[in-house]
Amino acid sequence: MTTKNLPHLLFSGPPGVGKTASAVSLARELFGEDIWRENFTELNASDERGIDVVRNKIKNFAKTAPIGGAEFKIIFLDEADALTSDAQSALRRTMERFSNNCRFILSCNYSSKIIEPLQSRCAVYRFGRLQDSAVRERLEFIAEDRGLKVTEDGYEALVYVAQGDMRKAVNSLQAAASIDLETPISRETIFRTTATANPEEIRDLVETALLGNFKAAKKELDRFLNEQGLSGEDLVKQIYRMLSDLSNRDMLDLGISERGLVELVDIIGEIDFRLSEGATEKIQLEALLAHFVLLGKK
């Protein structure tokens, strides 16, 4: 054990970027392989969100002495932003009372959902999405280790689907590999197993709508929903992502001005909100295409 000055920690960032892995690695580094499991406990706040989990499970573990000569124990509270405000208020007092023999590591996707008194008691570390090169490097390592054959466009599709989420990237590779270990994993396999539309087809859908061909765009939309089984929210997110990644040259090719792009993003936000509120999926997506058609005619 190196020091007793380890503060309480708050790990904040998107899913799949290594928050839990960092907490486990920290415990193994501090305690060693022999006793780290006895001095480290992990609780998922999304399973038990109420004040009882703080009063019972967390407090019972915190007040017991460390094992094996360790200076303190570590409680890792995953998805801490799912805790109710009452539970978070109770947790801050627990952190103070047992700070002599226990350290807390809180993990969350949105630090804004953690009350200020808890944030002020922690050293905050903000995790960003992983770089595409880092995701690909790890996927190549796994593929080589497991003897998987992945095409170049297969790797590109995995990186596109993952969006900086290593967990999602690995799960997508595993799902694709479970279909056929002999056939190389291609982009078509990745998109099919992850229920993701081909980004080129999304671009064709947007381009068709902007050219004013509503019926053809509607037919393509029906194919996404009925044949590929994509959800409306996923389609909206992919359309938004396609527009966000447009270069000036792409905007020129599609005939979209800067103001037009702003209008499209605005209506995408409105449609996304309507879907989250339970509006009819097909109607909202066709309304989105209608806005694209009208903007294209302008």
Q: For position 74, which CATH number holds?
A: 3.40.50.300
Residue at 1 is within a domain: no
Task: Yes or no: say if 254 and 206 are a contact pair by the CB < 8 Å rule.
Answer: yes
Q: Which domain holds residue 186?
A: 132-193
Distance between CA 198 and CA 219 in Å, rounded? 16
Let me know whether 100 and 136 are in one domain.
Answer: no
Residue at 178 is within a domain: yes
Distance between CA 286 and CA 47 in Å, rounded? 37
Q: How far is CA 111 from CA 7, 50, 82, in A?
A: 17, 19, 11
Let me know whether 18 and 114 are in one domain.
Answer: yes
Let me know whether 162 and 203 are in one domain.
Answer: no
- Looking at 34-186, list the stretches that DSSP marks H as alpha helix, in order from N- to C-terminal side: 51-53, 59-62, 85-97, 116-120, 132-146, 152-162, 166-177
**Per residue of the chain (298 residues), what is the pLDDT tens digit?**
445 578 999 999 999 999 999 999 999 998 888 889 889 988 876 666 666 666 777 777 888 888 888 889 998 988 888 888 888 888 888 888 888 888 999 999 998 999 999 999 999 999 999 999 999 999 999 999 999 999 999 999 999 999 999 999 999 999 999 887 678 999 999 998 888 899 999 999 999 999 889 999 999 999 999 888 888 999 999 999 999 888 878 787 778 888 888 999 999 999 999 999 999 999 999 999 999 999 877 6
Given this model, what pLDDT does residue 1 score? 42
Of the three residues 101, 126, 151, the one that is the final residue of a domain is 126
Helix (H) or strand (E) holding 11: strand 8-12
Task: Yes or no: say if 196 and 228 are a contact pair by the CB < 8 Å rule.
Answer: no
Let me know whether 108 and 19 are in one domain.
Answer: yes
Task: Yes or no: say if 90 and 56 are a contact pair by the CB < 8 Å rule.
Answer: no
Distance between CA 289 and CA 221 in Å, rounded? 9
Beta bridge partners of 10: 106, 124
Residue at 3 is within a domain: no
Task: Yes or no: say if 60 and 30 are a contact pair by the CB < 8 Å rule.
Answer: no
Closest CA to 81 of 163, 13, 18: 13
Let me know whether 49 and 75 are in one domain.
Answer: yes
Residue at 16 is within a domain: yes
Per the structure, how many domains does the chain have? 3
Extract the tokens encoding 85.
């405000």
Of the three residues 100, 126, 152, the one that is the final residue of a domain is 126
Of the three residues 174, 193, 212, the one that is the final residue of a domain is 193
Given this model, what pLDDT does residue 53 score? 67
Hey, is 152 helix, strand or coil?
helix
Let me know whether 120 and 163 are in one domain.
Answer: no
Given this model, what pLDDT does residue 46 score? 62
Residue at 73 is within a domain: yes
Helix (H) or strand (E) holding 283: helix 281-297
Distance between CA 282 and CA 34 in Å, rounded? 56
Instruction: Note every long-range contact of 279-283, with CB atoms under 8 Å and residues 24 or more positions apart, other chains counting.
Output: 281/225, 281/231, 281/232, 282/225, 282/232
Given this model, what pLDDT does residue 70 score? 85
Distance between CA 41 and CA 98 in Å, rounded? 15
Let me know whether 12 and 116 are in one domain.
Answer: yes
